[in-house]
A = this chain, B = another copy of it.
Amino acid sequence: MSDKIPYILVTNDDGITAKGLRILIETAKKFGDVIVVAPDSHQSAKSHSITQASPIRFDKVEEFNGHLEYSCSGTPVDCVKLALHEISERKPDLILSGINHGANTSVSVLYSGTMGAAIEGSLHDIKSIGFSVDNHFSDADFSDAVPWMEKIISEVLDKGLPAGVSLNVNFPDVTKVKIKGIKTLRGAKGVWGERFVKANDPHMRNFVWITGDLYNKDEGKEDTDIYQLKQEFATVVPIKVDFNYYDFISELSEWDFNE
């Protein structure tokens, strides 16, 4: 690690009042100067969305010992973009997102606002980590994850990450189990099978509310995050965005598109 004090941007998707964010801020402050730009409301499952059709507001909400906090009306990715271009004094050395109330294993990375923020950081070549705990209750106490987060943050600051790469870190439910250690591995292949809860509003107009279950296509595979999280390990998955399916380009180019 260089002698320069790291400048650390902290954000999340559960909103600026979330307990998980508070613990992450306190942890981040052990490593450097912290700035917080977080959504003013719940922004779960916002993926990589940005607010394009309407304006964004942001407000300075607090000035604590040595760090500033801003709330933002936009998504987690909006928060990162706003921090980088309007709020931060300088380009952050590290972006920390979370601690999310709920696991983000497998294909959940695609839907997750927590990971959306971390991925956005990595696209700007900033070392970025998303943290999640397998407990979605807003009053859950994630303190037991702190020593493990410190190990991960320390290693990332020390060794860096390849360009365009972020880390997706999931902890087991630390309110119930003791973390056995950290496993580095891949995210399981899976798909969200959705369900819709149906009801009427107080005006007797019907609505649906989305929920669902993650189907693990890698059931029983020890080299996946879902498997090891169940074994009470923290999981670290390196994440890189490249949507091109290179293996199919050559075959596809032989199709009769131009005839």
Contact = CB atoms under 8 A, between A and B. Distances in A.
A122 to B, nearest CB: 10
Contact of A238 (B55, B58, B248): B248
A42 interface: yes
B57 A207 contact: yes
Interface string A168-195: 1000000000000110111100011011
18 contacts: A45-B51, A46-B49, A48-B110, A49-B75, A52-B210, A78-B210, A81-B210, A82-B196, A86-B208, A109-B243, A123-B192, A151-B257, A151-B258, A155-B255, A184-B252, A184-B257, A237-B249, A239-B243
Contacts of A56: 196, 207-210
Contacts of A99: none
A110 B77 CA distance: 12
B245 A151 contact: no
Given A151-B257, A248-B165, A45 B55 contact: no
- Copies of this protein in the complex: 2
A224 to B, nearest CB: 10
B44 A52 contact: yes
A162 B252 CA distance: 11
Contacts of A252: 184, 236, 238
A85 interface: yes
A158 B123 CA distance: 37
Among A47, A57, A124, the most chain B Cβ lie within 10 Å of the Cβ of A47
Contact of A256 (B52, B151, B168): B151
A83 to B, nearest CB: 11
Nearest to A54: B209
Among A55, A151, A237, the most chain B Cβ lie within 10 Å of the Cβ of A55
Nearest to A52: B45
Contacts of A47: 46-50, 77, 116
Contacts of A257: 148, 151-152, 155, 181-182, 184, 236
A255 B50 contact: no
A140 to B, nearest CB: 18
A118 to B, nearest CB: 11
Interface string A203-240: 00111111000000000000000000000000011111
A241 interface: yes
Contact of A210 (B50, B162, B210): B50
Contacts of A248: 162, 165, 238, 240
A208 B82 CA distance: 9
